C-alpha cells in the first residue's frame, strides 16, 4: 500500500491522551467523531523517556476499528521490531531516523514489502537533510513539533515554519508521499501547520479533552485545509532545515 498525498488535510487521533482503561471505546469514539486514522505512539523508555504500549496491545484493539492504524515507533531498535507491528495490523509504520540509521533502509524495505506505508520521523533538532539517504523509500515524513515522549506539550512554531514547507516542497516532485506533523496539533496551531502544506495532523489532547470531539476534528481539519489550499509551494531544498 503506497501512500498517496491526500486531497485534503487528514486528522490522526493519537490515543496517548485517551482513557487507556477503555482503549477500545476511545478508538471507536475517535472513529465515530470523523478521525481519519488512529495514531499509535509506541515508546520504549530508552529512545524517549516514557513507556506506552507495544504490538500486543495494538493487535488486541485493531479489530474494533475500520480506519487505518498509523504507528509511530519511538524506540531504539525499530528494525528489530518492525515485523511485529506489521503483523499487529498497522497500516503505516514510521520510526525515527535518529534511532538506528545503520538499519533504517532494511526496515523501510521490509515495511513496504509487506504492503504498508513506510516513514521516517525527525526530532525538532534534527535537520531534514538526515532523510536524504532514504528518499527513495519514503511514503511518509513525520515532523515532530515537540520533543517526543509525552503528550500535551507546547507547539514549536519555529520548527513548523522551518521544516514543513521544506519537506512538502522536497516531496512534491514525487507526488506519492505525505507530510505528517506530530506535536501540539489543535485548532490554534492548525493555520501554521496548514500553511506548511501538511497532509496529516496528529492530534491527541485537543481531541480527547474536547467537549465535542467531532466538532473539534472538523474545526482542525477546516482551518488547516483552508490554510493549505492558500499556501504557496514550499522550497525543494532540505539543506537549511
Q: What's the Cα-to-Cα distance from 30 to each of 42, 114, 218, rounded to whole Å?
A: 18, 27, 12
Active-site option among 41, 91, 100, 139 = 41
* Measured distance CA(54)–CA(3) in Å, rounded: 24
Contact 167, 239 (CB under 8 A): no
* Measured distance CA(84)–CA(216) in Å, rounded: 33
* Measured distance CA(110)–CA(106) in Å, rounded: 6
Active site includes 25? Answer: no
- For residues 158-189, b (16+ Cβ closer than 10 Å) or e, as one string? ebbebbbbbbbbbbeeeeebbbbbbbbbbbeb
Nearest to 178 by CA among 228, 215, 142: 142
Nearest to 140 by CA among 91, 106, 193: 91
Active site includes 136? Answer: no
Active-site option among 70, 100, 139, 182 = 182
Residue matched to cell numbers 512534491: 172
Contact 108, 120 (CB under 8 A): yes
Residue 92, beta-bridge partner list? 70, 117
The residues assigned a catalytic role are 41, 182
Amino acid at each position: 500500500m503506497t501512500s498517496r498525498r491526500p486531497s485534503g488535510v487528514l486528522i490522526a487521533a493519537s490515543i496517548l491522551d485517551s482513557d487507556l482503561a477503555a482503549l477500545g471505546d476511545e478508538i471507536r469514539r475517535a472513529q465515530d467523531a470523523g478521525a481519519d486514522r488512529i495514531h499509535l505512539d509506541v515508546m520504549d523508555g530508552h529512545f524517549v523517556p516514557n513507556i506506552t504500549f507495544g504490538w500486543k496491545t495494538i493487535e488486541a484493539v485493531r479489530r474494533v476499528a475500520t480506519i487505518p492504524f498509523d504507528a509511530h515507533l519511538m524506540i531504539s531498535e525499530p528494525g528489530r521490531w518492525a515485523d511485529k507491528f506489521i503483523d499487529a495490523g498497522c497500516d503505516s509504520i514510521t520510526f525515527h531516523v535518529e534511532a538506528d540509521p545503520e538499519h533504517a533502509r532494511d526496515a523501510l524495505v521490509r515495511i513496504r514489502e509487506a504492503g504498508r506505508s513506510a516513514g521516517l520521523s525527525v526530532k525538532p533538532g534534527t535537520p531534514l537533510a538526515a532523510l536524504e539517504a532514504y528518499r527513495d523509500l519514503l511514503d511518509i515524513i513525520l515532523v515532530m513539533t515537540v520533543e517526543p515522549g509525552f503528550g500535551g506539550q507546547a507547539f514549536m512554531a519555529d520548527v513548523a515554519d522551518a521544516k514543513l514547507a521544506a519537506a512538502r516542497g522536497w516531496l512534491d516532485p514525487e507526488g506519492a508521499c505525505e507530510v505528517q506533523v506530530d506535536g501540539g496539533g489543535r485548532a490554534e496551531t492548525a493555520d501554521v501547520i496548514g500553511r506548511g502544506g501538511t497532509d496529516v495532523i496528529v492530534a491527541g489532547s485537543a481531541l480527547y479533552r474536547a467537549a465535542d470531539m467531532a466538532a473539534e476534528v472538523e474545526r482542525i481539519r477546516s482551518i488547516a485545509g483552508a490554510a493549505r489550499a492558500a499556501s504557496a509551494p514550499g522550497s525543494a531544498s532540505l539543506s537549511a532545515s
